[in-house]
Structure 1
Amino acid sequence: MKVASDKPFRIIYSLFNHEFLGILFESFAIQLDDKGRLSYAYQNISFKNANEFATELDDTDYELIKLMDSMQQEAIVKKFNSKNIKPKDFLRKIYDGQNSNSSNKEVQKLIDHRLENTRSKILSRIKGKRLFEMGNDGNPIWKEIEVMPEKASVLFHFRRNEENTHYFPTIKYLEEKLEWQYRGAYLLCYDPAWLVVDNRLYNFEKDVDGKKLLPFLNKKFIVIPRKVEESYYQKFVTQLVASFDVYAKGFDIKVERSQPKVQLYLSDLPGNPSTDMFGGKMEDEEEEKMVFDLRFRYGDYTFRADQASPTNVELEKDGDEYVFYKVVRDLQKEAFYGDFLKSRGLAVRNSRQAMSKRMAYDWIMNYKPELDDIGIKIVQSNNEKGKKYFIGQANISIKINEKIDWFDVEAMVTFGDYQIPFVKFRKLLMKGKTEIELPNKEVAIIPKSWFVNYAEIFSFMEHQEETDHPLRLKKHHIALAQELEKGNLLKLSLSDRLRKLRDFSSIEDYDLSKYFKGTLRPYQKAGYNWMRFLNEYHFGGCLADDMGLGKTVQTLALLASEKERTEGATSLLVMPTSLIYNWELEAKKFTPKLKILTYTGSQRIKDCSSFDRYDLVLTSYGITRMDVDVLKGFYFNYIILDESQAIKNPDSIISKAVVQLNSQHKMILTGTPVENGTMDLWSQMNFINRGLLGNQHGFKKQFLLPIEKKNDSDKISKLNAMIKPFILRRLKSQVATDLPEKVINVKYSTMTDEQQKAYEEVKNYYRDKLIDEMSVPGVPQKSLTLLKGLTQLRQIANHPKMADEMYEGDSGKMEDVVHMIKSTVSEGHKVLIFSQFVKHLSLVRRFLDEEELQYSYLDGTTKNRQAQVNAFQEDPDIKVFLISLKAGGVGLNLTKAEYVFMLDPWWNPAVESQAIDRAHRIGQQNKVIIYKFITRETVEEKIMTLQERKMALAGELISTEESFIKSLSQEDITALLA
């Protein structure tokens, strides 16, 4: 019968017994009569039509209806009924006991499990709802079942006598005994139990299994004969005692409730062959691992952390007597201790964690005071070798005192109360030994940090027999000593002369390494000497030569000398991804003996332990940013940043990442140390020589603002004086006299009439807008409006279609560019075409496609950069290379090009020069001719005029869009938009 949803009705749920599937539930809407009672007008509800009755439904009702739909026979058999048999016939076949087979039984098991799970979900949501038992005639409200709001409790009884043991459960509801046996009670669900007694529905504390109640619905107790009681007690009763309340007569149940005592057990685990402190294999040594095992002790019983059960029960039999020992554990407290250890780097997964002995010992030394405070006791379990490890305090102190030609080394090593002769200790360390036996026979583990911190300086020490100070250190190792002194790893006593070395006026000539294959031009040899000089005095440097002067080869010469001087030291070179291949090629050419690891790609192994096998690790800024936690775990010889303007912003993620890396020396390479502003300089200098220019806030106040806002020449001079010793910059015009001639031409273009009209409309719009904004003091939008307006005018000066896709006219500059391309290509020359606007390159690209001219192309989206470069350099049919400024302004060697077309002028002349230097660099055999395309009577021409007047700092510190615009006066803006 249809229920009218616009008249009063109620939602109820009804259960019935299916002949095959057992108890199922259905949902109904029941019409109310004129007295508000449930009538015999009802309608079955499914999830599909439930919204018709939404006024009486809440979120739980929707969940219940959906669950009940899923347990109807049509839904149940759908998954298994591949032959589309009628649901009733399919179930009859599956549940037919006479024709049942293993396959049918497996399907039965799956169906029963699914239904039981669904019943549990329904019953957990049924409280507060009206539940009925369905009549045989299908009446859904035949008998109402009251859903009891509280949980009942079950007490299991055992009464042991001389012949047997009686077992039975009792139930209490609200502390009153419930009579439930022999009363027609039945279970709606077994896991967990839901029991209907006298039309009331009960569920239970501790999620009792219904199968433990089922035998007693019509039986008072179960008898366990004496002959099977021990097995029954062991297998069944222990589980009941562990999970539920049990009352026993004839045997004892003893319960232990206490706070856990926390024990961290240490034991040995054989490891793999180790290496000595310098990376050599120790064939006769095996580095063992130490295992941490977290356990909790309650009274006389100890449990491992992975045995996380709320209770544990053990059965003991003494003669004819049984005792159950039940331990109630505090899992919340145990979890607290586990989380505490995890937060200190000891994630005792499955209660245990293994690590090398040195790492384990370092961990114990770092955290033992905290372990003691919180009550975690370290316990050494017995091991096969009978070792007992020293876990007290270890200390090493080193003093280095200056003598005439060397440093004397005084050192002391102590483990607890025992002092170890340093000469003996150093020998063990040099051999890579990780353990030392103390006089009391305890074995002390040498901390890993001592290997990391002192390996190099220990290797440089020389043992002098029969002297008061048998260990000496040569003076040329002062930089290393100073580095350790900075880290409070030793005390260094130096003369004022040595400590206050400030003389940079003369640099000696250093020999090239035998690992370097090639020759250096005189200015390159001078650069190498300068880097060696900085190395000797342990200062960082910035090699800022013009593009094309060979910063790469000078750096490789330095790294070759490092391989020869400090064999086994590993350096790190970070660069833009696009330059890695170029570095690999150059290294193979000039330093073929360098062992190089290219640490890039998704398949890289994120582990720094293998770095010491290589002389040089190459990686990118992106990888460094992602893997900083890996890389900072290794102490490098050199960290070198190529195109170091990548860290010009000290607040960027990559800048914060590289300063976390650890090394003995630092060097940066860049053709443009200043791109956006003076802070670029601070960020890079702070990386190579921490603190040279003060902190960021102080530098901004003392130098950045006076230089950029007031053009303070005194501040510029002072800043240059401070950084001069650490920056080496040579211009091509100064040193590369052997390069072929570079000719720069300016090609002035005239706008077409349509182009002129489009330009004037945009110019007038922004001029009026800026005049309005400048009339209001303190309007912050002015710079943004000017930048936006200038950008749009520059686009129109190139081609109006760049600013307006609907533009159908021509461009004067494009006509000139097309003509020049045809001329150069027809004469067999190769040409680079640069623009900072990808849209501009697209217009040129369209022309080349129409003319069927082959070309290479590179912008920020290009994936195969090197393939594009190789094609241009090697394929004689490819004459044109289209390059966007940001994607191709650095890192490319394009020496086959004889012409460079600059399609639009750039704010920063230094960046423009970098683009030109893609062709005009070492290896170029031809005269390089540059054409700069400028559209007359546009903002392009006026910018060039303003640059000459406003950018006096360009060659010294700064020259960019942002700084350029900030420096413009109202008169300058008016002139630009005149």
Structure 2
Amino acid sequence: MDSLALLISPLGFWNLYTLRLRHVHEEGEEYAGGDFIDKATDIDDKELRRLVELCLWTQSDNLFARAGRNFSNKKAFFEKADKTTQRYVISQVDQHITEAVATASRLGVHIFFAPKPGEWLKQQDELHFNADPLKLHAAFTKTDDGIDYRLTLGQDIIPLAHRTQVLCNNPSLFVIDHSLRQLDEGLGGKLLTPFLKKEIYHIPASIQAKYFRQFILKIVKKIDISSDGFDVDNLHPQGKAVLTLQASINGLYTLDTQFVYDTATFSVSDRREKSVTLHDDGKSVTFVCIWRNREWESTITELLDNELHRPQTAPLQEMTAWLTANETVLAQHGIETKQRTSHHYVIGEVKKLHNDRWTGDWFQMHVTLVFPDGTQMALTDFRDAIINGDREVRLPSGNWFVIPDEWYAQYSAAMLFGLMKSRGTLTFHRSQQTVLPTEDLLPTTLKAPATGDTEEKALPPKGLKATLRPYQLLGYQWMLSHQHGGTGCLLGDDMGLGKTVQTIAVILHYFESTDSASTDDRSREDATANALSTQAENPDHQGDDNIIRSDSVTRSNNIIRSNPTNTPVQMSLFSDEEMSGHAAQAIPSAASSQPDLRQQSGHRPVLVAAPSSVVFNWHDEFRRFAPSLRVVEYTGNARERAVKQSQLANADVVLTSYPMLRNDIGVLSRLSFAIAVYDEAHAFRNNTSLLYQAVLKIHADFPIALTGTPMVNALDELWTLMSVLNPALLGDYETFQNNFIHSINVNLQDEHTAILRKLVAPYFLRRLRGDVLDSLPERQDEQVWCDMTEAQAALYEEEQSKMRNLLMDAEQANNRIVVLAAITRLRRLACSPKLEHKEGDSGKVLEVFDRLEELRGTDHKVLLFSEFTSFLDVIAEEMKQRGWSYDILTGQSRDREGIVKHFQQTPSCQFFLVSLKAGGEGLNLTEADYVFLLDPWWNHAAEEQAIARAHRSGQRRSVMVYRFITRGSLEEQIQKVQDKKDDLVKAIMYNV
């Protein structure tokens, strides 16, 4: 088996050694030599590349190239270089060899002395590196003619009695038998040299004083010494413990304990019982022994490790936090602290002085930090450091402050969202209360209602013609709590859980809670009920006897808020743009030249905006659940809408579609709505769209968004929704981009993900069908892989080749429209060649009809969804040729309600073809129990909405879902995109 060997051999000059790395092959108990490794550039492994570089550094050619520039050749350099040059080269070689040996050992590289030419390496000769340093013990015996000096290693190991060879002096490295060992730091390997030839070294009396002063005194404090025949002073001084903060490995730190007794210092790991020093008065030498107090040291160690739980190796933040937390206890036990670090860090409690205040809806937080030395700074001085995750900050005093970990948890969100109105002060809107360091800062009058408050116990309105399920009652109460708190909210329940009826209950509650008990009002309600009863018989009858309703309006910074307690509203200290939280997105006021449709007394209307396809659903639901409400459906052509404009201010509910809202915003923006409901609110997720700009101009006390997909594609869609519901919550768009979009897109586990989730969580309620509906039928999902026909595959490959060529053209590749068109062609071909006006069968169509044939003639009904109406046409044509009955619903369908009823109520109509645009929202198709997704869409949420047409409350059977995927096509890649979008939505909205 091939492996590597590090070979050590004498250089031939200055007692140096050199290294080479070689491939070797194991042959029994020997290794046969292979190629040498003489360059590092081709090696990918970082540590192995470093090992090769270290070996090359020790070779003579390299040494000459680096230090022999003043010599004509290498031989002259090694023979004539001065002592200074020699010392430098030797020091560098020693460092490289010791690092190389440690690295080779860590990598499992064999280490040998280089063999003679032609010889193989024997396993029994392998050297093994042991990183634990060997202790030195010096014994001095006084004789009549001088001193005998004996040096041993470890447990009385005599160097002469073993095969001992010194390789490096500083750092030390030597071989003893088959072990590569080192001495304690600061002890040179040359200390062993005299004892390689004899066990005892004799120092004549004539030179002993000089020898002791010049040599022994330099090392005596670093090694264990015993003496015989000398004067000895035994001292037992009072000790003190010192904790030293210093850097360790991998950027971590340690708190090392040392025990100091006068001039002697012992580490915890030091096995010596005493420290021996020499006192030389010029006439005689005296050994001074300073003894340790082991019992006292054990008490200190017990305190630090078992009572105070000192970290062994930890980040700097943890170490400084521990020192600060235990500062008083350490001082009580006389334990000093020192720092052996590049910076001097602040240790001790930092006091925080709050000078906060509320002004209207805005909270101003000002925190002054008082450091142990009396230095005062504002918390905002650390804003950039906390946002950027910087751990150390230099103070004006020159000391460094390590930001505690808890500060990031407490203040990261606040630093991101606080507006800097003045130095040292951060300003927050009350909708951002979750980013405040503690809820204690929030006045009781501005806190969101807690469990048990009136709104959360509110019973359904009396006029509601429905019984709310328990989870629907909670949803209704949750929305009321936000209405009471003056904040918008987003109900994101699964399809089929009754978002509509919960919202209608909130609307009814508004009218009933603000309605007077007068007989006239009761009479008006009876009249309204009668009128609506007539209208139910004749849906085209609109009625013209509406009564105007409005409430007093509290407008602040272009955000309309309710004032349920009728308490005076404080004037804001900020401008309209500042109060909006994002001046660039401030809601413009209606043009003063237009007549004001708002009334100043009574009730005000409620706006419900929805996709065109579900407006009729809302109208039916109001008739069914809240017949007492007068609903004006603001749709139709220009003439019809002009007639209805006079009815808007008198309506209870203004029901309109998104296209009408966008086109007639000039009319709708002149109304003051008590509540604005945005169904399928992701319709205006694009913040550059005209629809979004129109929604911003709607005036409403209480905005409600209904959507199970608050994010379809990207994070900026969440910002768009929240900028309508709570404009100050996420700040302006540029800030949101910098703080969240960029960081979260790079790393979904980024701490900013948790901050964003915490911010939006109070305003978002999401329940899944499986979590709340015990009676929800079983659902089974199956992925059906479809192989292309031979002709279809050829067409697909031809189109794919064209796309590759297109992407090679830089100008075309950067044209988004061109690229999307190419992608769409591939998707269409994966469905059927006929979608691109090509001849040939489709493998997917064949597979779909194989499964439909099995269901044909049974009592099962099937929904078939596709994004491409042309694909539905292909399916419909095939069904027509087979004589099958079917219904089809697309964006071009006129009588949507009639088509749905026909499919639901006609047993012989077994198949319903539905386009994504027409069927993604607002349909109840519980007669169907099979769902065919004919092509994958870009996000799972859209697919789930389609499936929810059948798998919802009211479904009696289990539902079977088939997803048809063409193998080897772009549809496989679309699934990966779906998963990525799912991860983003779950991380932000659902915390799973």
TM-score (norm 2): 0.44
Higher relative contact order (CA 8 A, sep 6+): 2
Q: TM-score, normalised by structure 1?
A: 0.45
